[in-house]
Structure 1
Amino acid sequence: MIFGDTITRVRPLVTQDRYGSDVLDYAAGARTVFAGVCVQPRSSAEATADERDMVTTGWRIYSPAGMDLDIEPVDRIEWAGRTCEVIGEIARWPHPIRPGEVHHCEVDIQKVSG
């Protein structure tokens, strides 16, 4: 089944430090589960710098027709035992028949290791 994946959105709790800057607390953040999405591989890259090996792996989340995902660039996504960062803005494709509605969403995520 193409839309057989389940993801968890982690929206951070935003507090301020003593200087008035925002601090994002993902551990205390709100979790929302989205079932019936499709997660596909997007890209992978390896880099070696200053004796550090780094691997960046990316995926793209697709929602089925009619599902608008409440995901923002500041959120994190938990999926398949991984915690990933959302990359960039969420693509909300307009519905071709129903003006003002979303047909489906595409969300790029990535995990950096190393």
Structure 2
Amino acid sequence: MTGLNIQPNQQTERVDEQRTAVITGYKVQSAEGTAPDIRAGDRIEWRGLLYEVDGEVGIWPELFSDTTHHIEFVMVRATG
């Protein structure tokens, strides 16, 4: 998939006695005309790191037609 708009969405760090958990998330918006071939739970490799699609993928329809204008979703990576 090309022509993505990827923006920081979530950065969380939790520290306890046994570990430090870090969750990093990004909101992704596709280019116009992108087919909705991504599903909740899919894994995506970006910049050498593996992320998981978090939640359902939003499908934005083209005005006055049955085609897809673009899709939006959140991808997250958890470590620790």
- Residue correspondence of structure 1 range 1-114 to structure 2 within 5 A: 34-97=1-64, 99-114=65-80
Count residues in correspondence.
80
* Structure 2: 5+ residue stretches without partners: none
The structural deviation recorded for 1:70 is 0.7
Q: Deviations over 1:19-50 (max 9, x none)?
A: xxxxxxxxxxxxxxx12222111111111234
Which structure is higher in RCO with an 8 Å CA cutoff and minimum separation 6?
A: 2
Q: Which has the higher strand share?
A: 1
The Cα of 1:102 is off from its aligned counterpart by: 1.1
Q: Larger Rg: 1 or 2? A: 1
Per the TM alignment, residue 65 of structure 1 is displaced from its structure 2 partner at its CA by 1.6
RMSD: 1.3
% of aligned pairs identical? 35
Q: Unaligned regions of 5+ residues in structure 1, if any?
A: 1-33
Deviations 1:50-88 (A, max 9, x none): 421011000011111221241011310100111001101
TM-score (norm: length of structure 2): 0.89
